[in-house]
Amino acid sequence: MNLNPACQQLDEAMALIDNSPQLQPATRSQLKTQGVLYASFINDVQSGRTEACEVTQRDMADLISEFCMFIQSELNPTTRAAQ
């Protein structure tokens, strides 16, 4: 399974988390921790350090996508302005 799209989405979401003035430090820390865990999974799969089955990879890609969509909808100024 190609996890590159999830990786790109995650990079964009992490940038929003890093640059958002509306997040409290504790919330920023929790979101960054979740993002780092997702990034670690992607890295482990792509480097062959884990043998996650196709279903697990697809499920994780879905979770990463949901996380990123949530971050985009809450922290992206252009998305919020359109709502």
pLDDT score for 80? 52
Q: Which of the two residues, 9 and 50, has the higher pLDDT score?
A: 9
A 10 A CB-CB count for 31 gives 22
pLDDT score for 74? 93
The pTM of the full predicted model, rounded to 2 decimals, is: 0.86
pLDDT tens sequence across 14-45: 999 999 999 999 999 999 999 999 999 999 99
